[in-house]
Amino acid sequence: MSKILIIAEHTNDTANASTAKCIQCATEIPNAEIDVAVFSDNGESVANEIAKMDGVTKVIRIEHDANSNPMAALIAPQVISISKGYTHIFGPSTTFGKDLMPRVAALMDVNQISDVMEILDSHKFKQPIYAGNAIVTVEAPTTVPVVATVRIASYRAVGSSGSAQIESAELDIDLPSHSRFIGIQAATSDRPDLQTAAKVVSGGRALGSEENFEIIYDLADSFGAGVGASRAAVDAGYVPNEMQVGQTGKIIAPDLYIAIGISGAIQHLTGIKDAGTIVAINKDAEAPIFEVADIGLVGDLFDVVPELKAALG
Amino acid sequence: MEKILVGLKRVVDYNVRVRVRPDNSGVETDGVKMSINPFDEIALEEALRIKERGQAQEIIVVSIGAPEAQQQLRTGLAMGADRAILVETAEAVSPLMTAKLFLALIQREKPGLVILGKQGIDHDNNQTGQMLSALWDRPQATFASKLEINGETARVTREVDAGLEVNEIDLPAVVTADLRLNEPRYVKLPDIMKAKNKPLDVITRDELVTAATADIQPVTYEAPTEREKGVMVEDVAGLVTALKDKGLL
């Protein structure tokens, strides 16, 4: 039997969608018993939410003032303190999990598997490499725990008809004082979250300016879509970093992805390859984005986008 | 601080379209252009700027791998690093082993800061910096887009999913570079000539770490499934119809 510990990602009030997707991934391991750890300063509502997620046996609450804003150097030793007996420790392949899980793995003196996209058996997995241009099947040693991050775009969220038990774990370790959280600058928006939105509109370098990017927001808002961007648009300062889609930004899998003025570098395409339908709007008929698009439209975005918005509205 | 250690990984150039070998044994690297991992180039540029501000005296670039990685180290020296170390090994090196080798070098060199790229664009693991700081028992600041050194501490702005997070960490520490930390300089010809006389030490892996790690073994490589060829529409009306046909509107 496999005993799996999942490190929950959450906002202190609610679980991030990545948590339910990690659980889905873990349920695909044969004979899995799944526990979820919630590290927070007050994790009651998050623990209650996760206890309802299908497939979860137990939710473990680990409370500490230092967990109000998670820092890998502080969370990792806490993970170790509750890790005994688990055959697998999983976290999401988001910046939270990417930051934390390798630190956990190193403290356990094991290697880590990044971006698990398919479970073949308890110790055999598929992961993308080279920006998704190759998929490698890997086999982890059975003599040590498997530490992995889960490529959340590969999994659906589990349902919420479960009723797991919740228990609290006491910490008897000293946390380091060498790392301090100062603050976070996060744009607040009423738009659907880019990582979980069913529909996403993205803009690229061809928008030309921060002001011009407004037409992308307008179009997205007209049908309730999330908004993303190419690296070029972020580098040029049109939009903040958290909107970047691609190899080094967010990997997303919406039902509909509309790429506007994005040429389609391989680093961008790796972030959208699991999208249901990809629409490309670009002036350049030779742009590589058309090679992956399900529906392509060659045209000037400054003509097409307002027209599309009018047609949808 | 006296020294900054920077990792330079030799990887397939980011412009190369990587292909899986027909026998599924790996990706094709024969005759393919190799370069410094782009994130590592950014890491080195940041170290050079810290030195140019008078906040560090010596920049040491390190690579682990085949003898050919000396090319990337020479490029790093041409960019402005003071000396280079190649940890030579013919075997594949896991992120955990890489972290252990860096730790051994840290014990020799005692740097005030280690800057690595946040991930290699070959295996996309995004692990080594985090593992190294864990083994070293020091702070980590991953995905850095801004780095300020203030005496014994550093203030790091990190690109996270929610936005820009600011951490303060005590030094020494490990920082991993994200894309927007800086724009690396171009190497000039005289610098390439000058770099030929800078020290490049070659040591073997076994001189630093003898124990093996329980490694994750690759079994087979495959090409990703291709998306089916799409359709082109003439105008917005055609686009709306196509979307409606797919039930997306």
- Structural domain contains residue A12: yes
Domain that holds residue B82: 3-216
Three-class DSSP category at A261: coil
Closest-approach residue (CA) in chain B for A185: B164
Q: Are residues A153 and A9 in the same domain?
A: yes
- Predicted pLDDT of residue B227: 84
User: Could you tell me if A206 and A161 lie in one domain?
Assistant: no
Contact B164, A184 (CB under 8 A): yes
ipTM value for the complex:
0.95
Same domain, A134 and A259: no
Q: Which residue has the tokens 């046909």?
A: B245
Residue B227 domain-assigned (yes or no): no
pLDDT tens digit sequence for A237-291 = 999 999 999 988 999 999 999 999 999 998 999 999 999 999 999 999 999 999 9
- Specify if A193 maps to a domain: no
Q: Are residues A159 and A64 in the same domain?
A: yes
Instruction: Name the token pair of A260.
Output: 């506007």
A209 with A101, same domain: the answer is no
Task: Provide the number of structural domains found in chain A.
Answer: 2
User: Is there a domain that residue B22 lies in?
Assistant: yes
Residue A134: in which H helix or E strand, if any?
A: strand A134-139
* Residue range A73-88, pLDDT digits in tens: 999 999 999 999 999 9
Q: Which residue in B233, B225, B53, B178 sits closest to A273, CA to CA? A: B225
In a domain, A192, yes or no: no
CATH of the domain at B137: 3.40.50.620
Q: Both A133 and A270 in a single domain?
A: no
Test B140 with A139 for CB contact under 8 angstroms: no
Instruction: Assess whether A159 and A292 both reside in one domain.
Output: no
Distance from CA of A164 to the nearest CA of B (A): 29
| Cα–Cα distance, A153 to A130 (Å, whole number) | 17
pLDDT at B54 over 90: yes
User: Residue A250 sits in which domain range?
Assistant: 199-312
**Interface mutation target, options A178, A182, A247, A281, chain B, most CBs of B under 10 Å:** A178
**A182 and B228: CB-CB below 8 Å?**
no
* CB contact (8 A) between residue A266 and residue B17: yes
A42 and A157 in a common domain: yes
Chain A residues with beta carbon closer than 8 angstroms to that of B180: 234-235, 241
For residue B235, tell me if it sits in a domain: no
Same domain, A59 and A20: yes
CATH of the domain at A12: 3.40.50.620
What is the number of structural domains in chain B? 1
pLDDT in tens, A179-225: 999 999 987 788 999 988 999 999 999 999 999 999 999 999 999 99
Does B233 fall in a domain? Answer: no
Domain's final residue, options A147, A168, A189: A168
Q: A24 with A109, same domain? A: yes
The CATH number of residue A236's host domain is 3.40.50.1220
Question: How far away is chain A from the Cα of B198, in angstroms, using its nearest Cα?
Answer: 33
B122: nearest CB among A107, A129, A184: A129
Q: For chain B, how far is it from start to end, CA to CA, in angstroms? A: 59
Instruction: Quickly state the pLDDT bin for B129 (edges 50, 70, 90).
Output: very high
Distance CA B114, CA B154 (A): 12
Note whether A1 and A23 are within 8 A (CB): no
Q: Say yes or no: A32 and A85 in one domain.
A: yes
